[in-house]
Structure 1
Amino acid sequence: MPRLPSNFVSKKKKKKNGSDDDDDEKKNTNSEDEEEDEDGGYTVVGEDVTDSSASEEEEEEEDAMMMAGGEGAQQKPTKTQQQKQLERPKVWRPPENSQEGASDEMEYDATAYDCLHAFSHEWPSLSFDILRDDMGDARSKFPHAFFMVSGTQADQASKNALSISRVGRLKKTGGGTKTSSRNNNNNREEKKKKKMNSNIDNNSDDSDEDDDSDEDDDSDSETDDFDASNPSKSGKPTLHVSSISHPGGINRVRLMPQNAAICATWSDSGHVLAWDISTAFRSLQNSVEDQKNQNVVNEKKMKIAPKKVHSKHKEEGYALDWSSVSAGRLASGDNTGSIHVWEPTDANVTDWNIDCGYADGHDGKSVEDIQWSPSEATVFASCGGDGGISVWDTRQKPKPAIRVKAAENCDINVMSWNRLANCMIATGLDDGGLKIWDLRHFDPKGKTNPKPVAQFTFHRGHVSSVDWSPFDSAMLLSAASDNTVCVWDLAVERDAEEEAQAMAENESNAEIPDDLPPQLMFVHQGITDPKEAKFHSQIPGLIVSTALDGFHAFKPFNVGPET
């Protein structure tokens, strides 16, 4: 039975790195304690940011709370440790030949994130997609909210669901707090002076009671930053979920770009299904409107029949994508190497004719991913277990127009077609490699094999997701089984003089390892086996990821506009 999410917790714990794991390789690591209701299985966790401006009185109160916390209590960091957390984020990576039994401790660095929140559903999710909403484009002011659809991988087929979620009141949890007045050790005195200068209350005494009242007023503001020293007064993020029963586990889910009420799912039963989720979405909107400050999960999954069930694939698969140019056009690929193209029968996309004749693109190996061209209605690309990339034109079936050998003895797991620079495709490999391709270098006659315009070997596990930024044509997101989600900026080049100057100006800056690509902008950790990661197309810099232990929504301090 679905369970209500718990409140955001304010405890912070260190995550330890075992000797056999390469899971946590950076210091930009977050780990949360999850507080669960006795009835609950949907959880929401918000990362507390320790602020060195907290008063001694508040520190004593927190010490008392920690002492009363029993076995689950964490040792409170000292002021020196708190100040270290507010230093410039450092990059750290364990050596390749770390000794067995060695243990390393890493702490979450609040200054590395403008926003960091976590939440989880009843079952893990392999795939999700973000709904385009009507709350505006290029949103930068906190708090944030967004809608998403995800699919479960339950222990029994009958327990699976297609879940539509609204995540709301995502507060600013770090980054900018280092420049706010809360970081001043004389924060309370500053507030008193401001009250006097603005003549808010000339007759008031400067009591703590007045200050607490002022902080309450601040926390009620929808645009106020997350208050690290008083997280309980900053408002609680919310999670509202509406679910539809789904036959079997969901390998991949994708929303139709032109109509977010229609989505397609790849089931592990071997079927591809198309759904109209508008009923569940309306139910979710009503829940949000009626209970804005409460977490809501529909206890009973909706029983909605799919619009279409396609059973012609011989095996299950993962490749699935809608065309952003031609409404309702869909492509699905399976583990036998077959690709089926769905063509809508009418403008309202009520049904499809499905062409199953695309089968010669990957030598009978699995089709791992599919991407439609962002500019041409009849062109799509696929990658697969043969280590190749195939570019198809639906007017020239059944064979691909172009075939490229992109990897030797290695699967290409995922790909992303750049929607701002249409000639660029990014691929993620099973050996952890990332390769960037320029389609203009592909030879239609197949006489020459192109070389990637860029390639990186940073990940130490298979790459499970790549996604180009919708705001910056040079920015790329990747996720891998080494428990990292990385942000890359391909426009960056190493400048030795600039690095030397930065080191001279600030001794706390970390030395840059020789094997660290200069294009690597950010590494997010604190997750277990991430499966997909996506940029939000309407909130610049906001990233959402799904992993074995749930979802993370975060904004790195150096990605997107300043907040």
Structure 2
Amino acid sequence: MNSKKEGGSASNPLSIEDRYSQWKSHIPVLYDWLANHNLVWPSQSCRWGSLLEEQNYKNRHRLYISEQTDGTVPNTLVIAAVEVVKPRVASAEHIAQFNEEARSPFVKKHKTILHPGEVNRIRELPTDTNIVATHTDSPNVMIWSVESQPNRTAVLGAPASTPDLVLTGHKDNAEFALAMCSTEPFVLSGGRDKYVVLWSIQDHIATLAAAVDPDDKQSTNVGGSSEKAAKSPSVGPRGIYRGHKDTVEDVQFCPTSAREFCSVGDDSCLILWDERVGYTPAVKVEKAHDGDLHCVDWNTHDINFILTGSADNTVRMFDRRKLNSRGVGSPVYKFEGHDAPVLCVQWCPNKSSVFGSGAEDGIINIWDHDKVGKISGSADPTVPATSPGLFFRHAGHRDKVVDFHWNVSDPWAIVSVSDDCASTGGGGTLQIWRMLDLIYRPEDEVLAELDKYKSYILGSDSDT
């Protein structure tokens, strides 16, 4: 089902606008649901929150979005309520009709927090979904109790909101590497100081819901803003881990252990850490990629597999059983399907072999490593046959994809955001989408279902 003319060729690639137009024409046959939301300001992070309400034909979810302004108004952390139509409810005509310049009626802003500095990363605490952590252009990590934080209006001169807690320990800016543990209230961060820093907020969980007194004298200045610094209670690190030789770009906990985690950085290294054996690397892969590493994710279904994404345009999958303390370890497989640096990777929460990758080429690729080596093509006509394992390409963004996130409670629903300043001069584009289930379900199951509707598909007067 692959077609070279659909996607251009290596020597004559489609322009971004041509690719986008082609993508729009395929929407009715590729998507079960799609919502497009134009953002006034660029965004660096988008994250699903908890399921708020389940209805007959749609679900309401919490969504976190960052807004990076030009300084005329404060930077913000936005908590929104998003309606996602359930599978096989929306008509093809409905999902194909949207205006790129409009704001989606399915995305409603619920609360705005005026953030001290830009919001580079947002992570929700799995053990308490009302608590989120944010990174900014400062050494500190900020903790917010989103229910107790007041709703603010972003106007020029407005003072920044006060974090409920500030995590200290970095010696230089900690901009992007941020993770929350799924088993304990632990927070992990990496930064320009080449450190990986671990905190426990266990002792503060009970008090985070209480309002913070801005005049509290036992407090720490919050960096990252030109405004008058707010003050918040602070927590020092549980441990500082040294092993990288350049900026740490991403970190991730082992899904089953708060004591094991990994990190990647601009030194091209993938490092596995174990709190139980000290502050030096347990395993260090010296040249995991042929360029800076931007992102890492640990498989929640099979903890042996770790994904990394790099400036070398590839995604690589490592099996930790095949790594050793001497720094030896080759990837299980190298996935090639992007034309620019890979900025984000994430395993699918619903199927252990599936993952997504987003890159500066404006594409989110969906892969299945179980399909590597198998000949069967993709139901998505835009997928090239030269990228084994690739079975879906989301080409709805016209500039670099800076973040995306699978929805745990709404299988196969994805939120993604692009920074559109370079291409359109605008802010950003937020999209919520779910591919048609005929694309990812087992082939024999799909064929059996289609066979039931064969006469309808081919026409009632067909002899076949």
TMscore range, shorter length: 0.7 to 0.9
**1:345/1:100 Cα in 2 relative to 1: closer, same or farther (>3 Å)?**
closer
> Does the 8 Å contact 1:540/1:560 carry over to 2?
no
Percent identity, aligned pairs only, is 24
Residue 198 of structure 2: which of 334, 341, 347 is its match?
341
Which runs of structure 2 are paired with 1:360-509 in the superposition (5 Å)?
Answer: 360-363=242-245, 365-444=246-325, 446=326, 449-496=328-375
1:242 correspondence with 2:111: yes
CA RMSD, Structure 1 to Structure 2 (Å)? 3.5
**1:493/1:278 Cα in 2 relative to 1: closer, same or farther (>3 Å)?**
same
Distance 1:509 1:100 in 2: 17
> 2:131 aligns to what?
262
> 1:325 aligns to what?
183
**Offset at 1:366?**
0.5
**Offset at 1:403?**
1.0
Letter in 2 for 1:469: C
**Offset at 1:167?**
1.4
Residue 147 of structure 2: which of 256, 259, 278 is its match?
278
Which runs of structure 2 are paired with 1:93-108 in the superposition (5 Å)?
Answer: 93-98=7-12, 104=18, 106-107=21-22, 108=24
**Offset at 1:151?**
1.8
Partner SS state of residue 306, structure 1: coil
> 2:101 aligns to what?
none
Distance 1:340 1:511 in 2: 42
Tell me whether 469-478 or 298-307 shows the greater mean CA deviation.
298-307
1:524 correspondence with 2:390: no
> 1:64 aligns to what?
none
> Does the 8 Å contact 1:339/1:356 carry over to 2?
no
**1:460/1:308 Cα in 2 relative to 1: closer, same or farther (>3 Å)?**
same
> 2:457 aligns to what?
none
> Does the 8 Å contact 1:358/1:399 carry over to 2?
no
TM-score, structure 2 normalization: 0.76
Residue ranges of structure 1 left out of the alignment (5+ in a row): 1-87, 177-222, 284-296, 503-507
> 2:405 aligns to what?
534
Distance 1:560 1:392 in 2: 36
Residue 120 of structure 1: which of 7, 29, 38 is its match?
38
Distance 1:400 1:229 in 2: 48
> Does the 8 Å contact 2:299/2:306 carry over to 1?
yes
**Offset at 1:169?**
5.3
Of Structure 1 and Structure 2, which has the larger fraction of its residues in strand? 2
> Does the 8 Å contact 1:254/1:264 carry over to 2?
yes
> 1:143 aligns to what?
58
Distance 1:391 1:516 in 2: 28
Which runs of structure 2 are paired with 1:58-69 in the superposition (5 Å)?
Answer: none
**Offset at 1:406?**
3.9
Distance 1:382 1:375 in 2: 16
**1:93/1:168 Cα in 2 relative to 1: closer, same or farther (>3 Å)?**
same
Structure having the higher Rg: 1
TM-score, structure 1 normalization: 0.63
**1:450/1:224 Cα in 2 relative to 1: closer, same or farther (>3 Å)?**
closer
> Does the 8 Å contact 2:192/2:248 carry over to 1?
yes
> 1:305 aligns to what?
162
**Offset at 1:100?**
11
* 1:388-412 alpha-carbon deviations (Å, 9 max, x no partner): 1111122333211111124355111
Letter in 2 for 1:477: G
Partner SS state of residue 362, structure 1: coil
> Does the 8 Å contact 1:477/1:486 carry over to 2?
yes
**Offset at 1:224?**
6.3
Partner SS state of residue 516, structure 1: coil
**1:228/1:510 Cα in 2 relative to 1: closer, same or farther (>3 Å)?**
closer
**Offset at 1:441?**
1.0
**1:302/1:257 Cα in 2 relative to 1: closer, same or farther (>3 Å)?**
farther
**Offset at 1:339?**
1.8
> 1:80 aligns to what?
none
How many matched pairs? 395
Residue 553 of structure 1: which of 432, 449, 462 is its match?
432
Letter in 2 for 1:329: F
Distance 1:131 1:102 in 2: 31
